[in-house]
Homo-oligomer: A and B are copies of this chain.
Amino acid sequence: MDFLEQAKGLMPALHERWVFPEEQTKPGLRYMGKGDSFTLDFGTHLVGYFQIRFETDREPDSPLKIIFRFAEVPCELEIDVDQKNYRGSLSSTWFQQETVNMDNPTELLCLHRRYSFRYVQVIFPGNTHYQVRYVNSACRAVSSADEAAVLPLPREFAEKDPLLAEIDEISVRTLRDCMQAVFEDGPKRDRRLWLGDLFLQAKANYVTFKKNSLVLRCLYLFAGLPHSDGCMSSAVYCEPTLSGQAWILHDYAMLFIGTLADYYEETGDLNVLKELWPTAFHQAEIVANSLNEEGHVPENLYFIDWCESLDKSAAAQGLSIAMMKRGVWLAELLGAENELKQLKCWIARLSAGARDFYNKDLRIFRGRSGQISVASQMWMILAGVLDLQENNRVLDAMADCSDAVSTVTPYAMHFYVEALIACGRMQEAIHLVKRYWGGMARQQADCFWEVYVPDNPEASPYGDKRINSYCHAWSCTPTYFIRRFFVPFLQD
């Protein structure tokens, strides 16, 4: 069975719709020349193809040079046209800027690359003997998500809590714009299928677009592109060549088990489960083989969060246990007795190792370095190393610990909310979602961002926030929390 062939067969069709810029941002009837510019606002975040048409005040006697800059948020337009003031570590070529020379300035210009944007800045850098005037423009927005499939929130819920309703809407838009030929991490950057993002996107998808075939396609892609030792690639490049990312991340590999378990839970498709189970189990096996004598995982192979100072040891341990436990559930379903036995044995070793990170006096988990972090607590809670009561004490202890290292990304924040829900703290979970994702909403976010640190608006793992993605898959899960947990909870 060729996984990649199966993935290919599940290539989704894209839904297209035409979107036009807001009237008041069009430059009107004025003629423009060298040095003039204008910025169109499409009113919301879009992923798609841009086209524009100009007319000239006389027969154009030379080519027209135009610079187009596409931005998800206005700060991206602060980058110089020559990008000299960009200080980030990621490739500057991610900035969505095109320079176009039109031999025929009045013909419809259709840019052929896909952009992720709300704003389009149009600059005329060349001197010409004629001037140009804006005629019209449009974006052919694309997504493999079918918006008609999303059920509206109960009206009463939305009216009672408009902020949660708004957060839900932004989540759905974020997910929609990341759903293309695969679940992309961010349509501006990296436009790539990451396992960590997929795990979360799939959860949000089940309560919204229900495009389960796209989840399956992505599972097949990962299954079809393992490293030579069978370890899952952390990401898949569809372009230029279909290939796996070289970076090995054991937490992402383990999330394959979780993603498969969620998929089965949603679809009940036993054939798929049987087909992908060996691949999933092998990820657990690799992690089991990586343990040191203390039964600790090598945390340098784990991502956990974009946080340089984070001691990942405890979180990595917790995540590994949590995903192995999902594996246990699958092994039981499949009646895979051998693997079940192995998994239980590995979980026992990992759990014993996890205890090393638990400080009984403080009733809190600490990393190998002694560091206390949100990430350590949330993953140990999700691992179920302690019982519910103890887990709640951990959360209380952390609340009292003012110097606990916070999460940086919405990705990590997701698991904190999950941990709160796992501990039955639904009100706290709701409060956190409203405070954290609501913080982006209050800043007029059209989509949720790759990075959001409430007290550091300049935060970027790449040294320049303008290269951050402002529509990022791993931020899309509030709709999952809202639709799966908050709506039922608040209706009770």
Contacts and interface: CB of A to CB of B under 8 A. Distances in A.
Interface of A: 58-65, 82-83, 90-94, 97-99, 101, 103-107, 113, 125-129, 189-190, 237, 239-241, 243, 245-246
A240 B104 contact: yes
A63 B91 contact: yes
Cβ-closest 6 pairs across A and B: A62-B91, A99-B99, A104-B240, A93-B126, A63-B93, A91-B128
A357 B61 CA distance: 37
B90 A62 contact: yes
A91 B240 contact: no
Contacts of A90: 62
Given A60-B240, A82-B82, A237-B59, A113 B101 contact: yes
Nearest to A244: B59
Given A62-B91, A93-B126, A97-B101, 20 more contacts: A59-B237, A59-B240, A59-B241, A59-B245, A59-B246, A62-B93, A62-B189, A63-B91, A65-B93, A91-B126, A91-B127, A91-B128, A91-B129, A93-B128, A98-B99, A99-B99, A103-B239, A103-B240, A106-B240, A106-B241
Contacts of A237: 59, 61
How many copies the complex holds: the figure is 2
A94 B129 CA distance: 12
Contacts of A246: 58-59
A404 B239 CA distance: 67
A230 to B, nearest CB: 20
Contacts of A190: 61-62
A91 B102 CA distance: 13
Contacts of A243: 59
A240 B105 contact: yes
A128 B103 CA distance: 31
A76 to B, nearest CB: 15
Most chain B CB atoms below 10 A, which of A60, A63, A190:
A63
A67 to B, nearest CB: 9
Classify the secondary structure of A's interface with B: loop
Nearest to A240: B104
Contacts of A97: 101
A104 B83 CA distance: 21
A184 to B, nearest CB: 13
A93 B60 CA distance: 11
A113 B241 CA distance: 27
Nearest to A90: B62
A185 to B, nearest CB: 12
A239 B105 CA distance: 10
A95 to B, nearest CB: 8
From A101, A239, A241, name the one whose CB has the most chain B CB atoms within 10 angstroms. Answer: A101
Nearest to A247: B61
A53 to B, nearest CB: 12
A3 to B, nearest CB: 19
Nearest to A96: B101
A393 to B, nearest CB: 44
A107 B61 contact: no
A298 to B, nearest CB: 24
A144 to B, nearest CB: 18
Contacts of A105: 240
30 contacts: A58-B246, A59-B237, A59-B240, A59-B245, A60-B240, A61-B91, A61-B237, A62-B90, A62-B189, A62-B190, A63-B91, A63-B94, A64-B93, A65-B92, A65-B93, A82-B82, A82-B125, A91-B128, A93-B101, A93-B126, A93-B127, A98-B99, A99-B99, A101-B113, A103-B113, A103-B240, A104-B239, A105-B240, A106-B240, A107-B240
A64 B240 CA distance: 11
Nearest to A56: B240
Nearest to A65: B93
A90 B126 CA distance: 10
A61 B63 CA distance: 33
A468 to B, nearest CB: 14
A468 B245 CA distance: 50
A246 B59 CA distance: 9
Contacts of A129: 91
A248 to B, nearest CB: 15
Contacts of A92: 65, 126-127
Contacts of A125: 82-83
A101 B111 CA distance: 11
Contacts of A104: 239-240
A59 B113 CA distance: 20
Nearest to A98: B101
A156 to B, nearest CB: 46
